[in-house]
Amino acid sequence: MSLRPELSVGIPEETMRVAKATFPRGCALMGLRDALGPILHDQQFAAQFPALGQRAVAPWRFALITLLQFAEGLSDRKAADAVRSRIDWKYLLGLSLSDASFDHSVLCEFRARLIAGQAEAILFNTVLDIATSHYLVRPGGRQRTDSTHVVAAVCGLNRIAGITEPCAMPWKHWP
């Protein structure tokens, strides 16, 4: 697959009209597209695609689909179905209502291409830059995480270590 960047990333008129009629007050994904426009661009992923060959579907769309898939906890098949059936996704991705979507296996191939080309950082850094520029996160700030799973893993390791170490078994030293 080769990359031939799309020049027009606007929202088709029919998609815009139907989405605004369906969501008169808007929705999160429509608000995201209206506020930020197209977040990612094909040129960001140019290094992962050869110059010759069959044209690739716009990688910026697959990157956004991957983010939406993660956010909603969808399988590849359900993400492809969401692109096919959800108006808010079509609005965000700038697709026509009649777009037939893609085969779900393409998402796995796209993620493999990102990882092989070590381009997952492009996606992460772009989202982080947008979040920072809109004051959703502080630049260079301290990050917090829920450490419950870390503490549980350490406790599990301590139990295993306690079972295998001879000093942890006092009955072996009894007369």
Choose between 104 and 152: higher pLDDT: 104
Phi first, then psi: what are they for 55, rounded to 5°?
A: -65, 135
Domain boundaries, given as residue ranges, for the chain: 13-173
DSSP string, 67-91: HHHHHHT--HHHHHHHHHH-HHHHH
Confidence tier at 75 by pLDDT (50, 70, 90): very high
pLDDT of residue 138: 74
pLDDT of residue 2: 40
Choose between 96 and 169: higher pLDDT: 96
User: Which residue from 75, 124, 132 is spatially nearest to 104, judged by alpha carbons?
Assistant: 75
Choose between 8 and 127: higher pLDDT: 127
pLDDT of residue 1: 41
pLDDT of residue 155: 62
Tell me the average pLDDT of the chain: 76
pLDDT of residue 77: 92
For the stretch 103-151, pLDDT in tens is 888 888 888 888 887 777 877 888 888 778 877 777 776 666 666 666 6
